[in-house]
Amino acid sequence: MATVAERAVGAIVGATVADAAAQPLHWIYKLQTLDSIIASEEAPEFGQPSANPFYRIETGRNSCYGDQAYVILESLAECQGLDIADLKQRMYRMFGPGTDYDDAQNLEYKPHEGVKASYPINGSWRQASIKDFLKNTEAGKDDTGSEEDDQVDGATKVAPLVALYAGQPCMLEKVEDALRVTQNSDTALAAGLTTARILEQFVLYGKRDGVIETVMEEMRKPDRKNPTDLDQAMVSFLQKVLDNRGGQHREVVTTVFSQD
C-alpha cells in the first residue's frame, strides 16, 4: 500500500475484518476454555460455531465494537465529514429499541457480573457505554457519552476518523468529538486519542520503526493538541509496552499489565 489513501482504506478494512474474525472468540475470559478451543484449530479466526459465552451471532458479523466503527464510517461518508447530530441519530438507530441489540437479558446485565446460566443470548450484545448513550439520548441530554465507562470502545472505532482526517490539524479534535458521543470518561478519551495518534503515523508514513517513540515524544510536549490529564499516564504505559516487547504475550499480560 504505497499511498496514504490506500493505507487509509487498509486501516478501515483491516479493523473491520479483524473484529469479525475475533467475534466468535469474544469475551472468553477463562484461559483454560480458550486454550481448549484454539488448540485444535490451525486458524481460529472466523470460528464456527461461535464459542462466545455472552452472545451468539453469525460468524462474519461484527461485534458491538465493529458496529460502532461502521456507524462512524457511514456517517462520515454520508455527511462528507463529521456531523455529530447525524452520528448520534445513526448510533441510536443501530443500537436502540427494536434492533438486534435490544434484548431483555442483556438489559438487566451489570458490568462484571460474569456469565449467567441463561447465557449466551441469541443476538448482539449492547455494552455499558452504549446503554448509557441510549439513556442520555432518551433523556434529551446534549452530552450523550457515558461518564463511567472506561472500556476499549474508543480505541476500537477510530480507524474511519483517522483515515479521513490523518495529517490534518483537526484530526484529534474530530476524534475527540466523535468519541464523546458514546464515551465521556477521562480514561476512554485518553486511550482513544493515543490510539488515533499511533494509527495516524502508519496511515501517513506506512510501516516504520519508532512510531511509538514518536507518539510518546509528541504527547510529552506542553503545547500538544487535544491534551488530557492522563496523557503522561498513557506515555508511561506505552513505555512499559516497549520495555516488554520481547517477552511472551501471555506472560507479559499476566505479570506486567494485570494491575493496569
For helices 231-243 and 186-205, give the axis angle rounded to 10 degrees. 60
pLDDT on residue 40: 78
- Specify the residue for cell string 441489540: 101
pLDDT on residue 250: 87
Distance of CA 115 to the CA centre of its chain: 22
CB atoms within 10 A of CB 208: 9
pLDDT on residue 42: 81
pLDDT on residue 254: 87
Query: H-helix or E-strand containing 241?
Result: helix 231-243
**What's the pTM?**
0.94
Domains in the chain, ordered, with CATH?
A: 4-208 (1.10.4080.10)
Q: Is 193 exposed, middle or buried (0-12, 13-18, 19+ CB in 10 A)?
A: buried
CB atoms within 10 A of CB 231: 20
56: helix, coil or strand?
A: strand
pLDDT on residue 259: 61
pLDDT on residue 131: 97
Instruction: Confirm if 200 and 161 have CB atoms less than 8 A apart.
Output: no
Gyration radius of the chain's alpha carbons: 19
Distance CA 100, CA 57 (A): 10
Residue type, 118: S
pLDDT on residue 85: 98
Which residues of the chain fall short of a pLDDT of 70? 1, 259-260
Residue 183 carries which DSSP code? B
